[in-house]
Chains A and B, each alone.
Chain A
Amino acid sequence: MLRVTGKRLALLIPTLFGLSVLLFAWVRALPGGPATALLGDKATPDAVARINEVYGFDRPLLEQYFVYMGRLLRGDFGASIVTGRPVVEEFLTRFPATLELALVALVFAVGVGVPLGYVAARHRGRTLDHSSVVLSLLGITVPVFFLAFILKWLFAIRVPLFPADGRQDPRIDATHYTNFFVLDGLLTGEWDAAWDAFLHLILPGLALGTIPLAIIVRITRASVLEVQSADYVRTARAKGLTRRLIRGRYIMRNAMLPVVTTIGLQTGLLISGAVLTETVFAFNGIGRFLRDAIFNLDYPVLQGFIIFIALAYSLINLLVDLSYSLIDPRVRVQ
């Protein structure tokens, strides 16, 4: 297992290396070059020349590339043009927010999706099954940001059950250590702060979780349908095993493999969705920061965030691959 993990991690290196080359080329392809992007409105020829000299944009490309790679390897991703703070710091302060949001979305998607898919498959062809198919189809075709609008209008404006914007009520004086607001509240014993932060997560979490939910329902349903008619399930039934045992150990365990793969593949979707959801709910995570970075052409931020996100995405999919053999011992990771 350890060797396999190491091997898979080693395979990540060429991907990340390729990505860094693409990003290097990308910055140089920005309109007017990096110096103009850096200066924005203040881009006089003099200023551009000065910036090019200071940052070394006038050196040969190959030299620039080695300098750039050297800095990346030392963990130096530069500083944001807008805030002036290091990109790594900006990422680390905002990442917990998005992670919290993604976790709520994932818990919702898996917690509702897997049972719903299972029940739909067990009631194949009946009303419940048909409605689950229709619902999951709708879930795929409704854009995240539109769903976010509907939820916000329904549950924050018409019936004000949940807060409409932000991560926490600014009137609450909360202490933050980890930047996971709910966790911070629990750690410091500020229960009202934890509860308030949690309430702020509900609507964006539901909006973000709906597309993964729809996909998980579909995959679970298809997978359970296939497994439940397998010979070993019939045998288990003939042996007189309890329904609970058959459901848990025979059907679900075998049906979960494709579902776990799908959950891993949802990570990319969650990140894209987070940019949109955080925009609608004014939720201060990496998604919203990325959106602002796009408009300000804050290329160090874009560059760094894309590498971090690609890394996170690849690591999660690695974990998913490794988890196969835990779920199904027949799968031998090579």
Chain B
Amino acid sequence: MSATLPPAPSGPSHTEGPEAVTTTPGTTAAVGTSLWKDAFRRLRRNPAAISGAVIVGVFLLVALLAPWLAPFGGEELPGRTEIRPTTIPGPGDVEGYPLGLDRFGGDLLSKLIWGARASLVIGVVSTALGLVGGMVLGLLAGGFGGWVDSVIMRFVDILLSVPNLLLAVSIAAIMGQSQWAVMIAIGASQVPIFARLLRSSMLSQKGADYVLAAQTLGLSRRTITMSHLLPNSTGPLIVQGTLTLATAVIDAAALSFLGLGGGVPQTAEWGRMLTYAQAELAIAPQLAFLPGLCIAVTALGFTLLGESLRESLDPKSRTA
């Protein structure tokens, strides 16, 4: 950035954006409470955090218990014989299928439940990939500085100049259509965010007294980077990781919606279900609305949790 901003009024970095969060490990508000304990205490009193946690909890339970909760398997087509080209049984129309059927004859309720599992797997795996990739790049850039930093950051800038979805799509094009392609694609599109975040967080720690102390003690750069800088720079990453789970769920649905997920057409995946709901929007809108609602609510849960976590970790909001 080559525009210098005056100190006030502040840019978005003071109120919004991933780079807003910096933990200052040196300052403790109340004697004897660690930053995380203090943050957790404040989280429990925040209604937004509680609602987020409840949504995420329900989502996790449904995803983990899918085989026991769902009446049918995700790709099973128990109601194949009930489907006519012009009529698709809606909620309550046929006994045994509480939410009705889809155009293939799959049970909508079962598919929604199995879809939660698909979203959980994609969300967690892709965020983990993005986090690991971003951490490696961020560590190298922030740890070494100098030309390593310049090269890595230019590379990250290039990745950032391509819109997320396009980046994901180009990766998926190489890998063919599969769930793995979707996960790697989303993970890769998140690498730049994590890399920048860890780097900036580490740079802001570099001038801290405890780093100077470690340097004076003659500790090696590797030790300082790995055991001092890194642990103190993870706060923003954890917050961003939670928020990224929300975008990963949405992006995964978007890529599947575009048809990059691979597998059979009746795969129980929320984005995929929306693809095949397009043609029947007029006669069976529930086929589009229910999976869409599931995506939105899940994303809302992770967003609420992430935003509350960010607020409670913000040293500015700490009370003595």
Name the CB-closest residue of A to B158. A18
CB of B66 to closest CB in A, whole Å: 22
Distance of A223 Cα from B12 Cα, bound (Å): 8
- How many B residues touch A, CB cutoff 8 Å? 56
Chain A residues 251-275 with CB under 8 Å of chain B are 254-255, 257-258, 261-262, 268-269, 271-272, 275
Distance of A280 Cα from B277 Cα, bound (Å): 11
Q: For B281, what are the chain A residues with a Cβ–Cβ distance below 8 Å?
A: 149, 152-153, 157
Tell me if B176 counts as interface (CB < 8 A to partner A): yes
Distance of A274 Cα from B50 Cα, bound (Å): 34
User: Cβ of B278 and Cβ of A310 under 8 Å apart?
Assistant: no
CB of A174 to closest CB in B, whole Å: 27
Tell me if A309 counts as interface (CB < 8 A to partner B): yes
Tell me if B259 counts as interface (CB < 8 A to partner A): yes
Name the CB-closest residue of B to A314. B161
CB of B3 to closest CB in A, whole Å: 5
Q: For A334, what are the chain B residues with a Cβ–Cβ distance below 8 Å?
A: 2-4
Residue in contact with B164 in the complex, picked from A226, A272, A314, CB distance below 8 Å: A272
| B-contact bits for A222-266, CB 8 A (1 contact / 0 none) | 110011001000000000000000000000001101100110000
User: Cβ of B3 and Cβ of A321 under 8 Å apart?
Assistant: yes
Q: For A227, what are the chain B residues with a Cβ–Cβ distance below 8 Å?
A: 9
CB of B31 to closest CB in A, whole Å: 31
CB of B6 to closest CB in A, whole Å: 5
Distance of A144 Cα from B163 Cα, bound (Å): 15
User: Cβ of A153 and Cβ of B285 under 8 Å apart?
Assistant: yes
User: Cβ of A279 and Cβ of B3 under 8 Å apart?
Assistant: no
Tell me if B77 counts as interface (CB < 8 A to partner A): no
Tell me if A194 counts as interface (CB < 8 A to partner B): no
Distance of A334 Cα from B4 Cα, bound (Å): 7
Distance of A331 Cα from B254 Cα, bound (Å): 39
Query: Which of A24-32, A61-69, A75-83 binds B?
Result: A24-32
Q: For B11, what are the chain A residues with a Cβ–Cβ distance below 8 Å?
A: 257-258, 261
Instruction: Classify the interface of chain B: helix, strand, loop or mixed.
Output: helix
Distance of A237 Cα from B9 Cα, bound (Å): 18
Distance of A3 Cα from B166 Cα, bound (Å): 33
User: Cβ of B3 and Cβ of A333 under 8 Å apart?
Assistant: yes
User: Cβ of B9 and Cβ of A137 under 8 Å apart?
Assistant: no
Tell me if A175 counts as interface (CB < 8 A to partner B): no
Tell me if B73 counts as interface (CB < 8 A to partner A): no
Residue in contact with A157 in the complex, picked from B8, B12, B250, B282, CB distance below 8 Å: B282
Name the CB-closest residue of B to A334. B2
User: Cβ of B170 and Cβ of A26 under 8 Å apart?
Assistant: yes
Distance of A332 Cα from B154 Cα, bound (Å): 24
User: Cβ of B173 and Cβ of A276 under 8 Å apart?
Assistant: no
Q: For B15, what are the chain A residues with a Cβ–Cβ distance below 8 Å?
A: 219, 222-223, 226, 258
Tell me if B94 counts as interface (CB < 8 A to partner A): no
CB of B116 to closest CB in A, whole Å: 15
User: Cβ of B154 and Cβ of A219 under 8 Å apart?
Assistant: no
Find the residue from A141, A306, A328 having the highest chain B CB count within 10 A: A141
Find the residue from B158, B163, B169, B281 having the highest chain A CB count within 10 A: B163
Distance of A31 Cα from B253 Cα, bound (Å): 24
| B-contact bits for A129-147, CB 8 A (1 contact / 0 none) | 0000000011011111110
Interface bracket on A: 35 or more
Q: For A8, what are the chain B residues with a Cβ–Cβ distance below 8 Å?
A: 2
Tell me if A150 counts as interface (CB < 8 A to partner B): yes
Tell me if B5 counts as interface (CB < 8 A to partner A): yes
Distance of A46 Cα from B157 Cα, bound (Å): 41
Tell me if A105 counts as interface (CB < 8 A to partner B): no
Tell me if B197 counts as interface (CB < 8 A to partner A): no
Tell me if A172 counts as interface (CB < 8 A to partner B): no
User: Cβ of A15 and Cβ of B12 under 8 Å apart?
Assistant: no
Tell me if A324 counts as interface (CB < 8 A to partner B): yes
| A-contact bits for B171-188, CB 8 A (1 contact / 0 none) | 011111000000000000
Distance of A57 Cα from B69 Cα, bound (Å): 54
Tell me if A74 counts as interface (CB < 8 A to partner B): no
Q: For B5, what are the chain A residues with a Cβ–Cβ distance below 8 Å?
A: 257, 324, 331
Name the CB-closest residue of A to B162. A310
| A-contact bits for B108-137, CB 8 A (1 contact / 0 none) | 000000000000000000000000000000
Distance of A332 Cα from B259 Cα, bound (Å): 47
Q: For B292, what are the chain A residues with a Cβ–Cβ distance below 8 Å?
A: 142-143, 146, 149-150
Residue in contact with B166 in the complex, picked from A140, A143, A152, A306, CB distance below 8 Å: A306
Distance of A299 Cα from B163 Cα, bound (Å): 17
Chain A residues 281-334 with CB under 8 Å of chain B are 290-291, 294-295, 297, 299, 302, 306, 309-310, 313-314, 321, 324-325, 328, 330-334
Query: Which of B97-105, B139-147, B224-232, B295-303 binds A?
Result: B295-303
Q: For A143, what are the chain B residues with a Cβ–Cβ distance below 8 Å?
A: 250, 253-254, 292, 295-296, 299
Interface, chain A (partner B; CB < 8 A): 4, 7-8, 14-15, 18-19, 22, 26, 29-31, 137-138, 140-146, 149-150, 152-153, 157, 218-219, 222-223, 226-227, 230, 254-255, 257-258, 261-262, 268-269, 271-272, 275-276, 279-280, 290-291, 294-295, 297, 299, 302, 306, 309-310, 313-314, 321, 324-325, 328, 330-334
With A145-B274, A146-B292, A157-B282 already in contact, 11 other A-B pairs whose C-beta atoms are closer than 8 Å: A15-B154, A141-B297, A141-B303, A153-B288, A222-B16, A223-B15, A272-B163, A275-B166, A310-B162, A321-B2, A333-B3
Interface, chain B (partner A; CB < 8 A): 1-6, 8-12, 14-16, 154-155, 157-158, 161-166, 169-170, 172-176, 246, 250, 253-254, 257-260, 274, 277-278, 281-282, 285, 288-289, 292-293, 295-297, 299-300, 303-304
Interface CB pairs A-B, < 8 A, 22: A4-B2, A141-B297, A143-B253, A146-B288, A146-B295, A152-B281, A219-B12, A222-B16, A223-B9, A223-B12, A226-B10, A226-B14, A258-B10, A261-B12, A276-B257, A279-B258, A294-B260, A306-B166, A309-B162, A313-B163, A331-B3, A334-B4
